[in-house]
C-alpha cells in the first residue's frame, strides 16, 4: 500500500480544500473548508459557473445570504464526493458574538436540511474563542455538531471537551511557523511544537475519557502528518495528499488511544477567567488566534466584494 492508504488504517483522512474536483483522487472520508479556501476556489475557472449561477439564483437577497448559499452549494457538491461530513464555517467576523454565531449556525443547518442533508453530515466550523466555544456548546445540545477551529492552546481544547463539542482542529503548521520565526531554526518532526501540541491534546482527551475528536490541521509537510499517524482525524491539503499517495514508505502509528482513565495529566481549569488568562499568557496561541481571525475575516470581505460585483 502507498503511504496514504497506510495512514488511513490508523486515522480518518479529511481533505482540506474547497476544490472538490481534486478530492476524488484521494478518497477522503470527510472534507473541511474555510473562507480562504472558498475564496480561492470561486476564482478558478472550474468553479466560476457555480459561483455565477448561485449569485444569479439569489439576486435581491443580502450579501450575507448569498454568501451562505455559496457555502452551502460547495458543501452540497462536496457531500456528493465524500461519504462522511463536510465542515462549513461561520463568518469569522462573528467570532466574539455568541448569540450571532448560534443564529448563523442554525441558518446554515436549515439550508442544508432544506436541501435534504441530515445534520449528522455537517460540522459547523467556529473559531475557538471563549464566545465561539460557548456558542458551540449550546449548539451541540440542539444536535448541531461543531468543529472548533483556530485552536492553538491546550486550554482551548480542554474547554471544547468540557462543552461536549464534537471535534476540534488544532493548527499544527501555524504553531510551527510561530516558533520557527521566534527561534530562527527548523525543528525535527519529533521536536515540532505543533506536533507536540496535538500529541498532548490527544493524550489529554484519551486520559480523561472525553469524546471530542481531535483533527490535526494546517500541515506544512508530510513529515508533520506522519508524526501524528493515529490521531482521530487529520485534514490534509491536496498537495500533501498527493505526496502521500506517491510514497511507499512504511507508516508507523505514533498516537495510541488510552483505554483507562488515570490522572496522569493535570486537569486544566476551563472557567471563563482561567480560560482568558491562560490564552492571554500563551503568546503564540493568542497571537495566532488573533491573526487567524483577521485573515479569515479579510477573505470573507473579499468574497462579499466578489458577490457584490457579480
Domain residues of the chain, as ranges?
3-309
pLDDT of residue 264: 67
Distance from C-alpha of 148 to C-alpha of 125, rounded to nearest angstrom: 6
User: Is residue 259 scored above 70 in pLDDT?
Assistant: no
pTM given for the model: 0.95
Specify the residue for cell string 468574497.
303
129 in Cβ contact with 96 (< 8 Å)? yes
pLDDT tens track for 50-77:
999 999 999 999 999 999 999 999 999 9
Q: Which of 24-28, 136-140, 287-291 has the lowest mean pLDDT?
A: 24-28
Active-site residue, 8 included = no
User: Is residue 81 scored above 90 in pLDDT?
Assistant: yes
pLDDT tens track for 211-256:
999 999 999 999 999 999 999 999 999 999 999 999 999 999 999 9
What's phi and psi for 280, nearest 5 deg?
-65, -30
Distance from C-alpha of 13 to C-alpha of 226, rounded to nearest angstrom: 12
Q: Which helix (H) or strand (E) holds 31?
A: strand 30-32
CATH fold of the domain at 3-309: TIM Barrel (3.20.20)
Pick the catalytic residue: 8, 104, 125, 206?
A: 125
Amino acid at each position: 500500500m502507498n503511504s496514504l492508504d497506510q495512514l488511513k488504517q490508523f486515522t480518518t483522512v479529511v481533505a482540506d480544500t474547497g476544490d472538490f474536483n481534486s478530492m476524488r483522487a484521494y478518497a477522503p472520508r470527510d472534507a473541511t473548508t474555510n473562507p480562504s479556501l472558498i475564496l480561492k476556489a470561486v476564482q478558478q475557472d472550474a468553479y466560476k459557473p457555480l459561483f455565477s449561477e448561485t449569485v444569479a439564483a439569489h439576486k435581491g437577497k443580502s450579501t450575507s445570504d448569498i454568501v451562505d448559499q455559496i457555502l452551502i452549494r460547495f458543501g452540497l457538491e462536496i457531500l456528493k464526493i465524500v461519504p462522511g461530513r463536510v465542515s462549513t464555517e461561520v463568518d469569522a467576523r462573528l467570532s466574539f458574538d455568541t448569540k450571532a454565531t448560534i443564529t448563523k449556525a442554525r441558518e446554515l443547518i436549515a439550508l442544508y436540511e432544506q436541501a435534504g442533508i441530515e445534520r449528522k453530515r455537517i460540522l459547523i466550523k467556529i473559531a475557538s474563542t471563549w464566545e465561539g466555544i460557548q456558542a458551540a456548546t449550546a449548539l451541540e445540545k440542539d444536535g448541531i455538531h461543531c468543529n472548533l477551529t483556530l485552536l492553538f492552546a491546550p486550554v482551548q481544547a480542554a474547554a471544547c471537551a468540557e462543552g461536549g463539542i464534537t471535534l476540534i482542529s488544532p493548527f499544527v503548521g501555524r504553531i510551527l511557523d510561530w516558533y520557527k520565526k521566534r527561534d530562527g531554526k527548523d525543528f525535527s518532526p519529533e521536536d515540532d511544537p505543533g506536533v507536540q501540541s496535538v500529541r498532548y491534546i490527544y493524550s489529554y482527551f484519551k486520559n480523561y475519557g472525553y469524546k471530542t475528536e481531535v483533527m490535526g490541521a494546517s500541515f506544512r509537510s508530510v513529515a508533520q502528518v506522519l508524526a501524528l499517524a493515529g490521531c482521530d482525524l487529520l485534514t490534509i491539503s491536496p498537495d500533501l495528499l498527493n505526496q502521500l499517495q506517491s510514497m511507499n514508505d512504511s507508516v508507523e502509528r505514533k498516537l495510541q488511544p488510552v483505554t483507562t482513565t488515570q490522572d496522569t495529566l493535570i486537569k486544566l481549569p476551563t472557567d471563563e477567567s482561567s480560560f482568558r488568562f491562560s490564552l492571554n499568557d500563551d503568546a503564540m496561541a493568542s497571537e495566532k488566534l488573533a491573526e487567524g481571525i483577521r485573515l479569515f475575516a479579510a477573505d470573507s470581505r473579499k468574497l462579499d466584494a466578489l458577490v457584490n460585483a457579480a
